[in-house]
Amino acid sequence: MLRRIIPSSAFAYGTRGSQFRLLFSSSVKFQELSARQERERQELLEKIYLPLYGTRKMPGWIELLESGKLWEDYFHPFRWTSRDYEGNTLTVHDTQAIWEKLKKNNLDILLENRKLPLPGPRSLSDKPENEVIEIRNHLLSNYLVNTPKEKFEWEDEICYAGEFRKIGVMASHVHLTVYPYPQEVPALMKRFIEFCDESIKNDSLHPLILASRVFSSLNHVHPFVDGNGRVARSVMALYLIRNGYPPIVFQQMTSGSMAACLYTAQAGNDLTFLYNVVLQNVISILMRYRYQQ
């Protein structure tokens, strides 16, 4: 959700706090961190990016920035060393019913005029409010993404669908998470694809490990303005299915604990927690399937 771009936005209205991803730019004061958190974060950023600042005046710094090397060298995301978050309980039928009710509004006017409140959850469904809000917002986002860009006079940033982000992003749960600078993203995505191709070709990683690493790497590069979690989960599901495993849904996890798990993978270069979560989910899906037979 784009707090900087659409501060009083329809999307911000009613969205779960935990769903916000804060965007940053030098000109905008966005942070809600304590002084200590801000200091810690600043120190970490300087540690990673100081080489960039140090070489800013020297020839070649743009190439350095664009190479994605600073972030990559610090976190080594591709080096091989060793809700309920997704668990929205609403069914497809519930979602369909919400969509039908939403459509009774003039969606174009609703999205164009950001001051208008969105239909309240109670007017859409009698299911748990936060889950209805989540589904409502996803449906509206999808509608927006699938609507020709010219239709709304929104800032350019909102038209990023299908493109790499050109702005900085910040994780909502773990303030010390460092996503790469936007200039680093294209190079890192190239590296990500090479990493996947090499791992598949060499058959060097167990499919569950590869699926987990694909998931964590995509989340860490955070290539898009929005939808990174969904894309990462879909790509992981694809790897699992191709290798004969069931696609998993992180049913027992809160977004906070998933964020902590991903943070440990990044900052501690320790994916053990993530592997455990993935493995447990695969086993639990297979067990459920077995008992249904």
Ligand X SMILES: Nc1ncnc2c1ncn2[C@@H]1O[C@H](COP(=O)(O)OP(=O)(O)OP(=O)(O)O)[C@@H](O)[C@H]1O
- Residues making up the binding site for ATP: 226-233
CA 105/CA 127 separation, integer angstroms: 20
Residue 95 in tokens: 């979602």
Residue showing the smallest CB distance to ligand X in the complex: 229
Least Å from the CB of residue 218 to ligand X = 9
Residue number, 180 or 229, with CB nearest to ligand X: 229
Residue number, 196 or 224, with CB nearest to ligand X: 224
Q: Reduced to 3 states, what is the DSSP secondary structure of residue 194?
A: helix
Going by the annotation, the residues of the binding site are 226-233
Please count the other Cβ atoms lying within 10 Å of the Cβ belonging to residue 283: 11
CA 265/CA 269 separation, integer angstroms: 5
Residue number, 7 or 256, with CB nearest to ligand X: 256
Give CA 233 to chain center in angstroms. 9
Residue number, 64 or 231, with CB nearest to ligand X: 231
Distances (CA, A) of 242 to 200, 206, 210, 239: 11, 13, 12, 5
Give CA 8 to chain center in angstroms. 22
Q: Reduced to 3 states, what is the DSSP secondary structure of residue 169?
A: strand
Residue number, 176 or 200, with CB nearest to ligand X: 176
Residue 80 in tokens: 């091989």
Is 222 tagged catalytic?
yes
Residue 38 in tokens: 């801000």
Least Å from the CB of residue 230 to ligand X = 4
Residue 94 in tokens: 């519930």
Residue number, 127 or 175, with CB nearest to ligand X: 175
CA 54/CA 244 separation, integer angstroms: 49
CA 101/CA 105 separation, integer angstroms: 8
Give CA 239 to chain center in angstroms. 18
Q: Which residues of the shown chain bind ligand X in the complex (CB under 6 A)?
A: 19, 21, 83, 171, 173-174, 177, 219-220, 226-230, 232, 258-259, 262-263, 266
Least Å from the CB of residue 216 to ligand X = 7
Is residue 175 within 8 A of residue 41, CB to CB? The reply is yes
Least Å from the CB of residue 108 to ligand X = 23
DSSP state of 167: S
Expressed in angstroms, the distance from the first to the final Cα of the chain is 41
Least Å from the CB of residue 52 to ligand X = 21
Positions annotated as catalytic residues are 222
